[in-house]
């Protein structure tokens, strides 16, 4: 077990952590790390250099992986490899000569005499010869670790980039492991020197199980035993927010820190704190855009669904041709992604959290996100309906007939006497003085309603839903929503669309607009199954909604036929 470390430092500066801690916190990337390490080792023996580019968005773990590979090569492969790691931000590399001078510096080799040569080409050639000579004398290969390669290429003239590639091609001295947030023109355009030069590895987001494992490991490293002991209490919140933040390791650690500081009483508040911390970064994103591009991008971010160019033009009041041209630039530069569907193409933000951050800065968007978080929290929380029914059923023995109305109703339901249960429910006189008894009554009404709907008795089912929600008016709104989600999870699991649709429609009729918005994921899933139309994932939903809706669709149908690749 690694020694206790500062996880806040880890979020932004994994280089400050020791190798053991980095290895322990490497979740979901172990196989890739071993593969890259093995290939670099083989390259040192065969004299065939390797050139790797790790690609993934900010916080995905590129620095973590590069730092760990560097440390492992330094410790385990020092007999064959000289690992050299440049700084995460290199602001002084504008020429190929600058690049190789920095490598000499990192290796502790003096460069004053080389710089004194003044003529740049001579400086470059001498620096390269010094590195080749040193590697040859040692009988080793030099493995160079370069972060933010796109920034270095942006600083260099194309002729300098060509010179850099020529040196890499003409010598077997250097292997390179680099990183960038996306596949950028410097490596993807046909007319660029490094086109098709790097072998590219895309770092994907962690899966939900891996997110939980990473949080436990961070807690272990931080000495936070309370977090590990109470982890079951945190899981519904973690699973709910996973659909919003995804499996970005930096955001996962931020979520861990936020929960550790403030608990899990309010998942919406947790998410607000997380997005608010990203404000300086996202403000910089907008500052990099000017004029029409900023307006178009903000229009895309402000929509509740992906937008077509025509819709963007109408909302932004710009010329359609201008919108189409700017959208192509925004997509090329990694701000938006398109979803072509026949003659219709819709656009949304590439970075999920950026869209959510923008939504949280506006009142309507904030309400939408909070509502969705509330749904997710209830969806992933334990089903209280079953627990309540079990508790009532345990009371069956030893209670005289008629002594306890709830027990009598539960007894009728348990023994299949639905007509008797319906009569007993209709004869119950309210309001209830005891809120626990009221909760039992609502759960029993909805259980019987579900059984009636599933058996095709729509009239009885809707009548029971009406009774349940009439009584539920005395409960806290959050409790009513939790009861509703528990009920619908059960009905959805039975896979009967008519029953699900009837229940959802009746609940919305009784509870109004707030519940229509709250139950949108269920209503969307029902429509996808009814219409067999998977295009609705891209036309009706934001990225964070698709996965949960797809899960509901799969739960209804029992198959992945209507589940898209997310």
Where does the pLDDT of residue 393 fall: very low under 50, low under 70, confident under 90, or very high at 90 and above? low
Structure-block tokens of residue 463 = 């009548």
Alpha-carbon distance of 62 to 39, in angstroms, equals 18
Residue 399 has pLDDT above 50, yes or no: no
Instruction: Decide if pLDDT at 65 tops 50.
Output: yes
Q: Look up the pTM and report it.
A: 0.81
* 37 or 394, which is more confident: 37
Beta bridge partners of 38: none
Question: Is the CA virtual torsion 336, 337, 340, 346 positive or negative?
Answer: negative
Whose tokens are 């890499």? That residue is 168
Q: What is the pLDDT of residue 400?
A: 44
The correct CATH number of 7-202 out of 3.40.50.300, 3.40.50.720, 3.30.450.40, 3.40.1350.10 is 3.40.50.300
Whose CA is closest to 524, among 540, 510, 507, 500? 540
pLDDT (average), residues 476-500 = 94
Q: How far apart are CA 228 and CA 225, in angstroms?
A: 5
At residue 398 the predicted structure's pLDDT band, cuts being 50, 70 and 90, is: very low
Give the pLDDT mean for 506-523. Answer: 95
Contact call for residues 384 and 482 (beta carbons, < 8 A): yes
What does the angle CA 351 – CA 354 – CA 359 come to, to the nearest 5 degrees?
135
Phi, psi (deg, nearest 5) at residue 398: 85, 5
pLDDT tens digits, 146-171: 999 999 999 999 999 999 999 999 99
The helix (run of H) or strand (run of E) holding residue 3 is none
Residue 342 binned pLDDT confidence (cut-offs 50, 70, 90): confident
Q: Distance (Å, rounded) from C-alpha 204 to C-alpha 558? A: 27
Q: What is the pLDDT of residue 148?
A: 94
CATH code given to domain 281-350: 1.10.10.10
398 vs 389, residue with greater confidence: 389
d(CA 203, CA 26): 12
Confidence of residue 211 (pLDDT cuts 50, 70, 90): very high
Alpha helix segments (H runs only) across 107-148: 112-115, 120-138
d(CA 449, CA 484) in angstroms, rounded, equals 12
**CA dist., res. 65 & res. 248, Å (int):** 14
**What angle separates helix 384-394 from helix 435-454, to the nearest 10 degrees?**
110
- Per-residue confidence (pLDDT) for residue 236, from 0 to 100: 87
């Amino acid at each position: 077990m690694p020694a206790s470390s500062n996880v806040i430092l880890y979020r932004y500066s994994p280089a400050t952590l020791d190798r053991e801690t980095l290895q322990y916190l490497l979740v979901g990337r172990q196989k890739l790390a071993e593969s890259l390490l093995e290939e670099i080792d083989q390259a040192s023996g065969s004299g065939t250099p390797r050139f790797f580019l790790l690609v993934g968005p900010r916080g995905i773990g590129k620095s973590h992986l590069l730092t760990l590979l560097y440390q492992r090569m330094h410790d385990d492969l020092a007999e064959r490899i000289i690992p050299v790691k440049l700084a995460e931000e290199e602001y002084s590399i504008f020429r190929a000569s600058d690049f190789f001078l920095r490598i000499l510096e990192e290796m502790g080799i003096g460069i004053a005499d080389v710089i004194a040569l003044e003529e740049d080409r001579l400086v470059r050639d001498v620096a390269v010869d010094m590195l080749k000579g040193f590697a040859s004398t040692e009988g080793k290969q030099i493995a160079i670790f370069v972060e933010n390669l796109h920034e270095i290429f942006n600083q260099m003239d194309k002729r300098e980039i060509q010179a850099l590639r020529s040196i890499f091609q003409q010598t077997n001295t250097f292997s390179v492991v680099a990183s960038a947030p996306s596949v950028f023109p410097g490596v993807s355009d046909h007319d660029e020197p490094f086109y098709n030069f790097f072998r590219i590895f895309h770092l994907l987001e962690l899966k939900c199980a891996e997110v939980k494992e990473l949080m436990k490991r961070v807690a272990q490293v931080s000495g936070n035993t309370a977090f590990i002991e109470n982890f079951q209490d945190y899981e519904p919140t973690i699973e709910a927010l996973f659909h919003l933040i995804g499996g970005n390791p930096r955001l996962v650690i931020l979520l861990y820190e936020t929960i550790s500081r403030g608990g899990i009483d309010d998942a919406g508040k947790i998410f607000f704190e997380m997005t608010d911390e990203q404000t300086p970064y996202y403000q910089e994103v907008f500052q990099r855009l000017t004029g029409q591009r900023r307006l178009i991008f903000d229009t895309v971010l402000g929509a509740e669904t992906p937008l077509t160019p025509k819709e963007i033009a109408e909302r932004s009041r710009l010329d359609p041709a201008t919108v189409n041209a700017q959208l192509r630039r925004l997509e090329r530069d990694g701000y938006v992604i398109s979803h072509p569907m026949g003659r219709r193409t819709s656009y949304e933000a590439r970075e999920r959290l950026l869209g959510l951050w923008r939504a949280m800065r506006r009142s309507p968007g904030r309400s939408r996100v909070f509502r969705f978080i509330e749904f997710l929290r209830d969806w992933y929380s334990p089903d209280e309906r079953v627990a309540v029914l079990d508790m009532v059923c345990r009371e069956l023995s030893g209670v005289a007939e008629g002594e306890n109305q709830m027990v009598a109703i539960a007894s009728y339901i348990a023994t299949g006497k639905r007509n008797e249960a319906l009569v007993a429910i209709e004869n119950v006189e309210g309001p209830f003085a005891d809120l626990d008894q009221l909760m039992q009554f609502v759960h029993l009404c909805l259980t019987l309603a579900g059984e009636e709907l599933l058996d095709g008795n729509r009239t009885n089912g809707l009548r029971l839903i009406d009774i349940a929600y009439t009584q539920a008016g005395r409960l806290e709104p959050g409790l009513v929503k939790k009861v509703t989600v528990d009920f619908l999870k059960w009905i959805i699991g039975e896979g009967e669309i008519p029953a699900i649709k009837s229940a959802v429609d009746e609940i919305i009729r009784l509870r109004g607009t707030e519940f229509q918005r709250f139950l949108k994921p269920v209503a969307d899933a029902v429509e996808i199954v009814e219409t067999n139309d998977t295009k609705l994932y891209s036309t009706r939903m934001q990225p964070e909604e698709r996965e949960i809706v797809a899960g509901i669709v799969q739960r209804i149908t029992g198959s992945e036929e209507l589940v898209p690749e997310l």
